[in-house]
Chains A and B, each alone.
Chain A
């Protein structure tokens, strides 16, 4: 059977060879961790500790009363050295708790009930207390997603195993190494939202993962593994739903509107660990990779570990580094400092050597139509950018600039090197500010 997919999009080189067959490694404790108190969509957390306090692994160090938010936990045991603003991967500064590990790794865990006494409400409260957010870069608090309003019931849950960003292999390794936790996680989610059917959407480039999960779910009537074409951006929530269920999320809507809940692989495993073992979210799997890294690896990393330390654990730079990216090369953010800490949403650190870190020199659009051909939202990126350049923000709005998912496919192939995302973000900022006022 032909793998399912969506319309348009682009076939990218996977560039995953360097790490796809390397098991996830644990690394020694870093000399200090820097834990930002705002790592999610929603309200920032207030610190619950003070300078000089001793904290334990899994201790809650930041929280807030706001519903759309998620608490923050210490990832090491040790002394709080400072609570101060610190560089954050988005280019801003965020109030962060700096902890110097004492090496004891003394741990506290959440209280969890026997598995047969689990109720949807109990799962939601554990997930919230564990500080779980979408680990694919969307960082939306998971307990909010697990509470669909009554008038919009969820019938299908999809686990996103596409990992369509080049270079990144963390989700793939997790699917192979934590297969059981992943399947349990899907069952917990199905129970919590009362959905009938669960799907694994996995790219056919991850054949081993497809096979493993198929083998372990062969007897499950309500779980289906759906092989998907290795096309970018198949991992986009909307396009994943379209490929698997054939439904389209309305342009100003969310998956919940059409009865679907999508969770990423790492998030699902984190849910299992929280619900089964009472383990809060304080570490994550990420890939440190790229042609600018000597020895690329998949690592299990304490939240708050700075990039500099991780790059050292991977043998340092290969050649002269030109660009250091948090996330993937298609959607990630370029950094100007090595002191940026890994946060819940960090899927990878990709280092590109100097020769790959080109500064674009845009030329006039020749209307080749390649951006139209690849845009998964069926927009006309060339027109949107022209409107923004001419300061016609309303026309850019009418052309659908707010629908752009910033997948970057247009910028990747543009012969005129137009920095689409730059113009699109500029217009979005103006429009969203207008909407607020």
Chain B
């Protein structure tokens, strides 16, 4: 071939790539959620499958429809809508009416994501936006529907956080340490993704190992809860294990788009999530603080990004 016929690409360096594609990152997140998802299905059978499938379908369909309507390229194959749908499903009770995950998936993608301009532009974690809206709109379904799924005894029927609140109010005495094992291995009285902290930790461990998520967020989140609880006279181990804290710390707060971009910013973000969670659990009428804590910190992300930046090379401290 004559050299004159060469079709050479001329572009800026670097000329090689060693990157992970967005869909590969999403694949790992889904894999990280898989143990907890399977755990949820094991406990709640068909109810869990129904919620998960409906939620994912609603999220993906909303994304596709919205992008079609705006004549944008349809990007459902990047996997991010699947992750949003799955995350939402995992923080829903198993026996909600079928339209709850459908409405939720729609809200997550429409209000949580596409209205801001799609992946990369949203301010709040889409799955949590949906959960917050569902909690406020259909509190009955969101807090009560789970236990009729199974025949369980009265204590296990009430969520551990609900009981903890009543203990704190002095309504009755109960040793919270009896929940350690239940929360770790199999707690039937919660959302689909919260049945086992152990399964969540396995998935979170995968994401840490693959360096998909930054350890600073879960470390700050869980660490600050563990430190703050004793100061407020609360049981730290119980509050780390109960509710959606582990799910939130590893899978919700670590969402790239809605958390800070710098390492120290991420640590601060995690600590903020933990502190607000405990303040809400302790002083508000809410049982669970994780959702609102993360949403609040999402709103603080631009501020953190602005003020928490690494010291630049060759710039002395104080300058």
A415 touches B119 (CB 8 A): no
Pairs A-B, 4 closest by C-beta atoms: A364-B120, A408-B14, A251-B314, A357-B9
B119 touches A364 (CB 8 A): yes
B10 touches A412 (CB 8 A): no
Write the chain A residue with the least CB distance to B311: A378
A403 touches B313 (CB 8 A): yes
B-contacting residues of A (Cβ < 8 Å)? Answer: 12-13, 91, 166, 238, 242, 248-253, 308, 320-325, 329-336, 338, 350, 352, 356-360, 363-369, 372-373, 376-380, 382-383, 400, 403, 406, 408-409, 411-417, 419, 421-422, 425
Given contacts A357-B9, A363-B120, A365-B120, 16 further A-B contacts (CB under 8 A): A166-B16, A320-B1, A321-B6, A322-B8, A323-B8, A329-B15, A329-B16, A334-B11, A338-B3, A359-B11, A363-B119, A368-B256, A369-B266, A372-B310, A415-B21, A415-B22
User: Once the chains are docked, how many angstroms separate the CA of A287 from the CA of B24?
Assistant: 34
B20 touches A366 (CB 8 A): no
Chain A hits for B7, CB < 8 A = 322
22 contacts between A and B (CB under 8 A): A250-B314, A250-B316, A251-B315, A323-B15, A329-B15, A330-B15, A333-B13, A334-B13, A335-B10, A358-B9, A359-B9, A364-B119, A365-B120, A367-B120, A372-B263, A372-B310, A376-B313, A412-B18, A413-B20, A415-B19, A415-B25, A422-B12
A334 touches B8 (CB 8 A): yes
User: Once the chains are docked, how many angstroms separate the CA of A364 from the CA of B310?
Assistant: 23
- The one of A366, A379, A421 that contacts B12, using a Cβ cutoff of 8 Å: A421
User: Once the chains are docked, how many angstroms separate the CA of A335 from the CA of B8?
Assistant: 7
Chain B hits for A365, CB < 8 A = 120
Chain A hits for B12, CB < 8 A = 334, 411, 419, 421-422, 425
With A364-B118, A369-B214 given, is the CB distance from A336 to B314 under 8 Å?
Answer: no
B119 smallest CB distance to A (angstroms): 6
With A321-B6, A369-B261, A372-B263 given, is the CB distance from A411 to B314 under 8 Å?
Answer: no
B120 touches A366 (CB 8 A): yes
User: Once the chains are docked, how many angstroms separate the CA of A379 from the CA of B7?
Assistant: 36
B120 touches A403 (CB 8 A): no
Chain B hits for A383, CB < 8 A = 261, 305
User: Once the chains are docked, how many angstroms separate the CA of A241 from the CA of B46?
Assistant: 62
User: Once the chains are docked, how many angstroms separate the CA of A335 from the CA of B15?
Assistant: 12
With A367-B120, A379-B312 given, is the CB distance from A412 to B11 under 8 Å?
Answer: no
A322 touches B9 (CB 8 A): yes
User: Once the chains are docked, how many angstroms separate the CA of A388 from the CA of B316?
Assistant: 26
- The one of A91, A320, A411 that contacts B14, using a Cβ cutoff of 8 Å: A411
B311 touches A369 (CB 8 A): no
With A251-B313, A321-B6 given, is the CB distance from A363 to B22 under 8 Å?
Answer: yes
- The one of A166, A378, A382, A412 that contacts B313, using a Cβ cutoff of 8 Å: A378
Q: Number of contacts between A and B (CB, 8 Å)?
A: 160
Chain B hits for A323, CB < 8 A = 8-11, 15
B315 touches A360 (CB 8 A): no
A412 touches B17 (CB 8 A): yes
A417 touches B19 (CB 8 A): yes
A247 smallest CB distance to B (angstroms): 10
B312 touches A364 (CB 8 A): no
A31 smallest CB distance to B (angstroms): 15
B14 touches A368 (CB 8 A): no
Write the chain A residue with the least CB distance to B23: A415
Write the chain B residue with the least CB distance to A365: B120
Chain A hits for B121, CB < 8 A = 364
The answer to the question of B166 belonging to the interface, with a C-beta cut-off of 8 Å to chain A, is: no
A172 smallest CB distance to B (angstroms): 19
A396 smallest CB distance to B (angstroms): 14
User: Once the chains are docked, how many angstroms separate the CA of A321 from the CA of B118?
Assistant: 37
B315 smallest CB distance to A (angstroms): 5
B84 smallest CB distance to A (angstroms): 13
The answer to the question of B67 belonging to the interface, with a C-beta cut-off of 8 Å to chain A, is: no
- The one of B15, B118, B119 that contacts A325, using a Cβ cutoff of 8 Å: B15
Chain B hits for A248, CB < 8 A = 313-314
Interface residues of B in 44-68 (CB under 8 A from A): none
User: Once the chains are docked, how many angstroms separate the CA of A366 from the CA of B315?
Assistant: 28
User: Once the chains are docked, how many angstroms separate the CA of A57 from the CA of B3?
Assistant: 30
Chain B hits for A379, CB < 8 A = 312
B271 smallest CB distance to A (angstroms): 17
B22 touches A377 (CB 8 A): no
A369 touches B9 (CB 8 A): no
The answer to the question of B309 belonging to the interface, with a C-beta cut-off of 8 Å to chain A, is: yes
- The one of A166, A400, A416 that contacts B312, using a Cβ cutoff of 8 Å: A400
User: Once the chains are docked, how many angstroms separate the CA of A308 from the CA of B305?
Assistant: 49
User: Once the chains are docked, how many angstroms separate the CA of A166 from the CA of B118?
Assistant: 36
A331 touches B313 (CB 8 A): no
User: Once the chains are docked, how many angstroms separate the CA of A356 from the CA of B6?
Assistant: 15
User: Once the chains are docked, how many angstroms separate the CA of A369 from the CA of B11?
Assistant: 24
User: Once the chains are docked, how many angstroms separate the CA of A50 from the CA of B109?
Assistant: 71
User: Once the chains are docked, how many angstroms separate the CA of A308 from the CA of B24?
Assistant: 39
Write the chain B residue with the least CB distance to A239: B313
- The one of A357, A366, A372, A408 that contacts B257, using a Cβ cutoff of 8 Å: A366
Chain B hits for A412, CB < 8 A = 14, 16-19
Write the chain B residue with the least CB distance to A249: B314
